[in-house]
Copies of this chain bind each other. A is one copy, B any other.
Amino acid sequence: MGLKGGPTQDEVMAVSLRKLGIRAGDRIADIGCGTGKVSIAASLVAGRVYAVDRRAEAIAYARQAAAEAGAVNIDFFEGDAVEFLAGIDRLDCAFVGGSRRLPEVLDLLSEKVSGTIVVNAVMVETLAEAICSMKRLGIFREAVHLQVSRSAEIAGGVMFKPQNPVYIIVGGDAACS
């Protein structure tokens, strides 16, 4: 698809979901849901997924992808994450794939989320901002730098093509749910 950033790498999603530790029935927010890939994967275990993106084309794309995947427990919100979070009651986990007002988003998430918050970042500034905000809120647990390289066949052999490295920042008071 043409959405900026494209879908989350499979391996990054697998690690992010493991860090989230979603349990059956959990309520989870996917902030900056983009293509909906993480929402759809999370919906297999979660009770309800809130997929939020301020881009109409992202919500349209994700909604379509969810329908094709048969995911019926995803609610879509086109709009600002801060506004969405102001109106939500409580969450078990949250995944932030992208957001423009990260410190505010993390402020709200730290109030609403009882379990784990996972942020994906490609920019150094986002990494620093996420760690800084989580430390200020007293919820920082760890950050992971994930460098995935995938095999590619070239003349006579196999080489590894690197994907863009991603930072996975993890926070929260307790295990998810």
Given A14-B14, A162-B163, decide whether A144 and B149 contact each other with a Cβ distance below 8 A.
Answer: yes
CB-based contact B156/A145 at 8 Å = no
| 8 Å CB interface, A1-23 against B | 10-11, 13-15, 17-18
Identify the interface centre among A14, A126, A146: most chain B CB within 10 Å of its CB.
Answer: A14
Number of interface residues of A (CB under 8 A): 36
Give the docked Cα–Cα distance between A126 and B154 (Å): 12
In the complex, whether A69 has a CB less than 8 A from a CB of chain B is no
* Interface flags, A107-148, vs B, CB<8A=1, else 0: 000000000000000111111100100000000001111111
CB-based contact B154/A145 at 8 Å = no
In the complex, whether A70 has a CB less than 8 A from a CB of chain B is no
Complex interface: chain B residues within 8 A of A162 (CB): 147, 149, 162-165
Per a CB cutoff under 8 Å, which of B18, B144, B148, B151 touches A150?
B144
Q: Across the interface, name the chain B residue whose C-beta is closest to A170.
A: B151
Interface residues of A (CB under 8 A from B): 10-11, 13-15, 17-18, 122-128, 131, 142-151, 154, 156-165
Beyond A145-B148, A147-B147, 10 additional pairs, beta carbon < 8 A: A11-B146, A122-B159, A124-B128, A126-B157, A142-B151, A143-B160, A144-B150, A145-B165, A147-B149, A162-B163
